[in-house]
Amino acid sequence: MRLEAPFTASPAEVFRAKHRIVSWQEGWGADSGTLMLTEWERIRRWEYTWLLDVDKGTSRLWFDHNESDRYASPGWALHRPLPNGRWVLHQQGSAVYFSGSGGSDAGDRPFLDLRDMESGAVRRLFRCAPDRYEHFVAFAGDEDRFVMRSESRVEVPNYYLATLGEETEAAEGEATRALNRIPITRFEDPTPQLRAIEKRLVRYQRADGVPLSFELYLPPGYTEGTRLPTVLDAYPLEYSDPSTAGQVRGSTHTYPRVVGASPLAFLTQGYAVLMDATMPVVGDPETMNDTYVEQISSAAEAAIDVLDAKGVVDRRRVVVGGHSYGAFMTANLLAHTDLFAAGIARSGAYNRTLTPFGFQSERRSFWEAPELYLRVSPFTYAHKINEPILLIHGEADNNSGTFPIQSERLFQALRGNGATARYVVLPHESHGYRARESVLDTLAEMIEWADRWAKNRPPEGAR
């Protein structure tokens, strides 16, 4: 709606959406009343981007795409500030600058594009080299120069002043401008011992044919064929299309960094780490969670199977872990499978009757689908969790779905049923852990738990 000054008349309709409007406040052009607006269709998980002429009262669809399709994602529009402090679209004439992660079958290759609002044509000005990880940070003075961050598996991230040069011939999807760069920073490697970490992209399939992938990290000095204790860390995501569920995420060309309570800390202790293992829940958005347990169980089994076939994992010494919805996944996998030696669940929700009006993408309430809420709640199956589980929670967690009572009640249920469990409360911490003491304590608790219940178990075949 639009209300003209002096705001005494009735407001006039500018645009009526069929689906939910999710973005428009930062979509103003610098002049001519142009407004970029995004509409989201929940059932199809589809995004539509419209161009409105607010002064004329017209609108037209600019582009649309599957929100989960990383390979076809247009990225996000860039903005610039006006002298009055307001932000508008960063344009070159009728074209808007876009930057994106550049998902591809070989991993992320970030880009910088110019997308014309009139013709719809897209010019790719910059794309990350296939053997590095580089991305646009900000323009530097004019549109031909920008700050770029660049890194590789063995080079720490540094910043460069990149200058766009002459037009060049390029294959479809590649940069059409030459690029010159000058170093801005010369940061040295703060953790040279991490250079020896090996990172691999592993792709495989679930039993139902859904393609999956994960980033496999191997500890320094790894000898090919050695079976290692392993940590599988994941966070389930929902998809309406199996083809997007299997798309590769991330890049194998980033420099390994252990930040906060990252599971990558296990690499310093001789573990293999399956990072961001895809755990897709695929189906109709209205009912996909009806098979949540079956889908994550199948995905976990497929991940272990592929590394077992490669001679990397010792199946008897695999730990599953996750944070928030990943913790929910962890407890469910321990309750419904015998794939893991132990579990580590951080700041999770385990009793879905305590979130009765929906969770994640689930829109049915408890009263509409009580069987589902009980079926996906690890609390319901606490008597079947027969592997040791470590529960960690921030004392002041203000996430509406993961109040500390979730871990408290699951811990009591586990102990009452004779399970092996430990509950760690982090004072003053919310959903994420910030204090140095909290982060270090979390790492110590996780490593000690995994060592005790997985790493120090005898390997397969030992007596």
Which residues does the annotation mark as catalytic?
Answer: 324, 397, 431
Q: Can you say whether residue 36 is alpha, beta or left, with left for phi > 0 and alpha for psi between -120 and 50 degrees?
A: beta
Q: For residue 241, how far is the Cα from the chain centroid?
A: 17
Task: Please answer whether residues 98 and 241 qualify as being in contact, where contact means their C-beta atoms are separated by less than 8 angstroms.
Answer: no
Rounded Cα–Cα distance for residues 250 and 425 (Å):
32
d(CA 203, CA 211): 7
**What are all long-range contacts of 202-205, with beta carbons under 8 Å and residues at least 24 apart?**
202/306, 202/307, 202/310, 203/246, 203/248, 204/302, 204/303, 204/305, 204/306, 205/246, 205/302
How far, in Å, CA of 146 to CA of 159, rounded? 10
From the list 105, 387, 390, 117, the residue with the least C-alpha distance to 252 is: 105
Residues in contact with 322: Cβ distance below 8 Å, sequence separation at least 6, in sequence order: 233, 234, 235, 328, 329, 330, 344, 345, 346, 348
Contact 381, 350 (CB under 8 A): no
| Helix ranges, 279-404 (H) | 292-309, 325-336, 370-375
